[in-house]
């Protein structure tokens, strides 16, 4: 699996692969008769070639896709700072139902989904100002 040639994108950079969980269901002093692993790949383009490479690499073992969220290029507005990040969002699940998507908000990805996840009050107050500026700009 680690030898799969993962795609890259000029703006988003390289895809990443993480073997995040492994389990044999056996004690550490017993040679396991089975094993399983949960693998996560952060995609930067169309998933087709990556899926094909995984099926080929996993030949002879059972493999299941749990979730596939495509890479997404979100909108930007003049006067608002932007950045490119290597993590995903649920935004593609909405299928553009509410128009051009923007991803903005307080907090930091460095503590997201951890026991230390928090958003400083100052950032929450700043977010209100940012949202108000965005709404005013989008309504023009």
What does the pLDDT look like over 112-122, one tens digit per residue? 889 999 999 99
Residue 20 DSSP symbol:
E
* Domain chopping of the chain, boundaries: 8-57, 91-139
Query: What was the pLDDT predicted at 122?
Result: 97
Q: pLDDT value at position 87?
A: 79
Percent of the chain clearing pLDDT 90 (strictly above): 32
Residue 132 pLDDT: 96
What is the tens place of the pLDDT at every residue in 98-137?
888 888 889 998 998 899 999 999 999 999 999 999 999 9
Percentages of the chain per state (helix, strand, coil), in multiples of 5: 25, 15, 65
pLDDT of residue 83: 87
Q: Contact 50/41 with Cβ under 8 angstroms? A: yes
- What's the CA gap between 100 and 76, in Å, rounded? 9
Nearest to 14 by CA among 83, 90, 86: 86
pLDDT value at residue 27: 93
């Amino acid at each position: 699996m680690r030898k799969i040639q993962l795609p890259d994108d000029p703006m988003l950079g390289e895809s990443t692969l993480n073997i995040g969980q492994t389990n044999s269901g056996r004690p550490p002093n017993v040679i396991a008769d089975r094993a399983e692993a949960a693998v996560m790949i952060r995609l930067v383009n169309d998933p087709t070639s990556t899926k094909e490479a995984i099926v080929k690499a996993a030949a002879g073992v059972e493999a299941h896709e749990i979730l596939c969220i495509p890479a997404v290029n979100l909108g930007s507005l003049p006067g608002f700072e932007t950045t490119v990040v290597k993590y995903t969002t649920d935004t593609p699940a909405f299928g553009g139902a509410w128009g051009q998507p923007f991803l903005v908000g307080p907090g930091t990805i460095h503590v997201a989904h951890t026991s230390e996840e928090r958003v400083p009050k100052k950032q929450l107050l700043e977010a209100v100002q940012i949202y108000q500026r965005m709404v005013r700009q989008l309504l023009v």
